[in-house]
Chain A
Amino acid sequence: MDLFFEYIKKHGVLILFITLELLALTGLILTKNKPRGVILSTTNTIAGNIHNLFHTTRQYFGLYSENDQLVDENTQLRYEVMQLRSRVRKDQEHVSTYLFADEYYEFLPANVISRTVDQQRNYMTLNKGRRDGFKVDRGILCAKGVYGIIKNVSEHYSLVVPLIHVRSQLNVRVAHTSIYGVTKWDGVNYRYISVGDIPKSAHVNKGDTIVTSNFSHYFPDGTPVGVVVKKTVDNDDSFYTLKVLLFADYEQVVDVYGLEEEYRNERLFLESQKQ
C-alpha cells in the first residue's frame, strides 16, 4: 500500500495530466458528432477485422473435419454415380441387371500417408487397413482415375502398388473403342506409362483417353487412366506403343478410394472353375 501511495506521489502530475486528457477527449467524443462518428467507424472496422481474423482462424482449424465430410460426401456421390451409370446402360441395352453385377462397387475413403515416385518399384501406404474393409488385390482410385492395386494389408494400413511400378500391369483400352492393351512402366518418369501391343491397323490418335477395360478384375470398365501423348511403332513394325500421360499425379494425390466389388468372389470362383 505504501508503495502504491509512493508511486502516486511520484507520478501524480503525470497521472493528473493523463486523467484530464482522457476526460477532455471523452467529453469531445460524447458531445461532438464528427469525432463520435469517426471513433464509432474506426472501432467498428477494428472489431470487424478482429472478428474476421477469429472467423478465419476457426475456419482454418475446422478444415480437417470439413475435409473429412467432403470425402464422405464424395464417396457417397461416386457410389451413386456408379449405380446410375449402371442403370442407364441397363436401360439402353435392355438387358438384365445381373450382367452388370460387376459394377456394384463400394467406395472406401483413405489417405496416402507415404509414397515413393523415384524408384523402379514404387509403393504407396494408405492410412486404412483390414479393420476398415480394405483387402488385398482391390483397386484404388483417386479423384482423376486409376491409382493402383492393394498388394498387402495390415490391421490399420494398406500397401498399394501404383501404375508406376515396373511390374505393374493393367488391362486397358482406348475409350469408346475396342482397342485393348496392357500398361507398362519403364521406370523413368512417374507421369507417363506406356500401353503396348496396339495393332497397327487400329486408329489411335494423340489426345485419346485410355480407360480400364472390362477384362480388369480391379476396376469398373471405363475408369480413366490417362491420355495418349505419343504413338510409336514397335521394332517388328506390326504394333504401336502408346505413351500415356497419367491422370493420377502420384506426387500430389492424397485422397483415394478403395474399391470393394459386391460380386467379386462370385466372379473369381466362376473363373476358377475353368481350370
Chain B
Amino acid sequence: MIPVKYYIRLLFALVIQLLFFENAPLLSSWTHPYIYILPLLTLPVPVNRYAELLTGAGVGLIMDLCTNNFGANICACCTLCFLRPLFLQTVQDLERVKGEISGAVIGRREYLRVAFICIVIHHTILFGLEAFTLHHLWKTLTVIILSSAITCIIAALIDLMKRK
C-alpha cells in the first residue's frame, strides 16, 4: 500500500491547487498549471499498481467535484498513473530503486524527463477534454504548452528544494 504521508502531500497539493491556482488573479486564460499532480509523480516504487491507479482516480475525482468538470481530471490522472511506471522503466531500472521517486534517487535529469512527459500527457488530456473540439486547436495547444512549462518549472523547483 501507499504510505499515509503521500496522501497528506496529495491533500496539501489539492488545497494549494484549489485555493491558489484555480483562483489566481495573476494567471491569464492562457496558462493554467496543475500542481496537484506533482505528488502523484513522486509515489514510491515498488507500489501496488491497483492502489496507484485508484489513488489517481480519487485525486482526479476530488478535483472534478471541486471544479465542476466531472470526468476530465479522473481521465487525465488515471492515464498519468498508468503510464508513469512505464516511463520510469525507460530511464531507470526500477528493480534497483526503492522508495520515493525524486531527482536525488533516479537522477535529476531523468526525473525531470519523466516528470515532463507525464505532465504534458496529463495536461494534453485535461485541456483536450475541456475543449472537446478541434475548432480552437492552436489556442488549446498554446495553453497546453504554457501550462505544462509552468508546471514543469514548479516540479523542478520543488525537487531542487527537496535536495537542499
A residues near B (Cβ < 8 Å) are 12-13, 16-17, 20-21, 23-29, 31-32, 34-35, 38
Considering only CB atoms, which chain A residue lies closest to B76 in the complex?
A24
8 Å CB contact of B70 from A17, A20, A28: A28
A17 touches B75 (CB 8 A): no
Contact A21 B75 (CB under 8 A): yes
A23 pairs with B132, CB closer than 8 A: no
B-chain residues with CB within 8 Å of residue A34 when the two chains form the complex: 132-133
**Chain B residues engaging chain A, CB cutoff 8 angstroms:** 49-50, 53-54, 57, 60, 64, 69-72, 74-75, 78-79, 82, 129, 132-133
- In the complex, chain A residues whose CB is within 8 Å of the CB of B53: 13, 16-17, 20
Residues of A within 8 A of B71 (CB): 24-29, 31-32
Q: Are the CB atoms of A28 and B133 closer together than 8 Å?
A: no
Across the interface, which residues of B come within 8 angstroms of A13, CB to CB? 49-50, 53, 82
The A interface is mostly helix, strand or loop, or mixed, namely helix
Query: Per a CB cutoff under 8 Å, which of A16, A17, A20, A35 touches B132?
Result: A35
Residues of B within 8 A of A24 (CB): 57, 60, 71-72, 74-75, 78
Query: B82 touching A38 by the CB < 8 A rule?
Result: no
Across the interface, name the chain A residue whose C-beta is closest to B48. Answer: A13
Closest-by-CB residue of A relative to B60 is A24
**Closest partner residue, chain B, to A38 (CB atom):** B132
- A20 adjacent to B57 (CB under 8 Å): yes
Q: Which of A12, A23, A24, A31 has the most CB of B within 10 A?
A: A24
Closest 5 CB pairs of A and B: A28-B71, A24-B74, A27-B71, A24-B75, A13-B49
A residues in contact with B78, CB < 8 Å: 17, 20-21, 24
Residues of A near B49 (CB, < 8 A) are 13
Contacts of A25 in B (CB 8 A): 71, 75
A26 to B64 CA separation, bound complex (whole angstroms):
14
Taking A13-B53, A17-B82 as given, write out 16 further A-B residue pairs in contact, using a Cβ cutoff of 8 Å, ordered by the A residue number: A13-B49, A13-B82, A16-B50, A16-B53, A16-B54, A20-B57, A21-B79, A23-B74, A24-B57, A24-B60, A24-B72, A27-B64, A28-B70, A29-B71, A32-B69, A32-B71
Interface centre among A17, A29, A35 (most CB of B within 10 A): A17
Closest to B74 in A: A24
Find the B residue at minimum CB distance from A29. Answer: B71
Residues on B with beta carbons closer than 8 Å to the beta carbon of A16: 50, 53-54
CB distance from B90 to the nearest CB of A (A): 18
Inter-chain contacts of A28 with B (CB < 8 A): 70-72, 75, 129
Q: Judge whether B74 and A20 touch: CB under 8 Å.
A: yes
Residues of B within 8 A of A21 (CB): 75, 78-79
Q: Hey, which chain A residues are within 8 Å of B64, CB to CB?
A: 27
A10–B74 Cα distance when bound, in Å, is: 24
Residue of B nearest to A39 (CB): B132
In the complex, which residues of chain A have a beta carbon less than 8 angstroms from the beta carbon of B82?
13, 17
Chain A minimum-CB-distance residue to B79: A21
What is the minimal beta-carbon distance from A261 to any residue of chain B, in angstroms? 70
Closest to A35 in B: B132
